Amino acid sequence: MSGKRGNGEGSIYPYRNGFAAYAWVTTPTGKRDRKYVYGKTRTEVHDKWLKLHTAAKAGPVATSTPTMEQYLAFWLKEEVEVNLKPLTAATYETAVRLYIVPFLGSKRVDKLSVRDVREWLNKLGTTCQCCAQGKDERRPKDRRKCCAIGKCCEQVLAKRSVGDARTVLRSALTYAISEEMISRNVAQLVKMAKPRSRKVVPWSVEEASRFLESARTARDPLYGAYVMILVLGLRKGEVLGLRWSDVMLDRGEILILQQLQRVRRRLLQSEVKTDASESMLPLPEICRAALLLRQKRREADKLAAGELWTDSDLVFTTRYGTPIEPRNFNRRFEFRCNEAGVRLIRVHDTRKTCGTLLAALDVHPRVAMQILRHSQFAVTMEIYTQVPSEETRKALRKLGATLDASRTGEPGDREDEEPEEGTSTNSDS
């Protein structure tokens, strides 16, 4: 092939050990700029140059491509922080910082391949995170016990966590496609085996009844919160974020609008998890009685705290009126499980006991359907067929009936039953 330029090839020229070319394009920011392509032969560059012209006619073209680390920082700031809830945004940031950038951060976004992602996932699933994050190394020298002294603890990620990291990367690359930085999502092309779902065996109604009876007998200040999570199926954040302004005792209803969460070392009150979670719920009598007791307890706490009291609209607080730390609620729940002699489950898993408890308390199926937020009545009735023994039903009804403060006294009179106040965070990273 001769060295003479063809028609329209004025922008192709020798460059280092090959050739280069450019075309004027409109960038995603709306500016006009040059975009360069390179190759070893004129033919190779000419083909790239033609594709570049075609792309320039089709729409905006980026003139420079960032590394994954640079792009992910941009994505977190401009997309995730703006459009996602604080806890979700914090979770994404953690995945990017700990699991994606250390492995793929130096790769260019447009050069990331399916093989790169597959190798990353394989390595991520076998890398000790204690070693990678220097967890043991950050401990004082006299307290180091594993990786920092050559005894690797092999703290590898669970398959579900590896899958979650891939989901974050896939979401980031989807946004890169919308920004016209890349043409395909390589993370979506990598197939992963679906991890097994964690099987949860919720409490039986007998166990839930024993737990509530133990809390009531011990005058636990969080007794009302336990009733709400078990009977109404509220999430931990929802019950800790419940406000008196959303409680209508005279109408027997509560409005679920917000939740309390610790995010990046701060306690935040934010909207509930989903649109379906934001709803008006009827109060069964056991819940109404527990809230009345909580109301009286709050007045007693306020009087005892005096000038130390922090006024707020939250239903469940510490003895000084401050919000309850989510982790302290977990600790308190675990302590109460041990005291009641019931199986230890997560606070979130109590939601699965809610339906059978409503049946045991003789709550009308239509009311239960509203509480459980089922779209079909048949689903509610299927739960209602799994009712406990008559003895257990009587015990629960008696528990609700004996919540009259004039006969039982108010829960939480003991100082050692107060939930802890702390500043621990929800992130282990």
**For 179-284, where are the alpha helices, taking DSSP H only?**
186-189, 205-217, 223-231, 236-240
Mean pLDDT of the 67-72 span: 92
How many Cβ atoms are within 10 Å of 368's Cβ, its own excluded?
Answer: 23
Mean pLDDT of the 61-86 span: 88
pLDDT, tens digit, 9 for 90 and up, residues 178-234: 877 888 999 999 988 887 777 778 888 888 889 999 999 999 999 999 999 988 888
Between CA 309 and CA 315 the distance in angstroms is 14
Q: Which residue did the predictor score with more confidence, 318 or 25?
A: 318
68-189 to CATH, choices 1.10.150.130, 1.10.10.10, 3.90.870.10, 3.40.50.2000: 1.10.150.130
| Weakest-pLDDT range from 138-147, 258-267, 278-287, 405-414 | 405-414
Specify the CATH superfamily of domain 205-417.
Intergrase catalytic core (1.10.443.10)
Closest CA to 247 of 197, 203, 298, 283: 283
Q: Does the reported pTM lie above 0.85?
A: no
Distances (CA, A) of 167 to 59, 64, 174, 428: 28, 26, 10, 20
Percent residues over pLDDT 90 in the chain: 39
**Continuous segment of H or E residues that includes residue 169:** helix 159-178
| Weakest-pLDDT range from 261-265, 277-281, 395-399 | 395-399
Between CA 284 and CA 372 the distance in angstroms is 13
Mean pLDDT of the 341-350 span: 90
Amino acid in position 314? L
Q: How confident is the model at residue 422 (pLDDT cuts 50, 70, 90)?
A: very low
Q: pLDDT at position 269, please?
A: 80
Distances (CA, A) of 115 to 33, 42, 127, 160, 186: 32, 30, 18, 21, 9
Q: pLDDT at position 91, please?
A: 93
In the chain, where the domains are located: 13-58, 68-189, 205-417
Establish how many alpha carbons lie within 13 A of residue 358's alpha carbon, considering only the half-sphere containing its beta carbon. Answer: 30
| Weakest-pLDDT range from 109-113, 317-321, 346-350 | 346-350
Mean pLDDT of the 26-34 span: 80
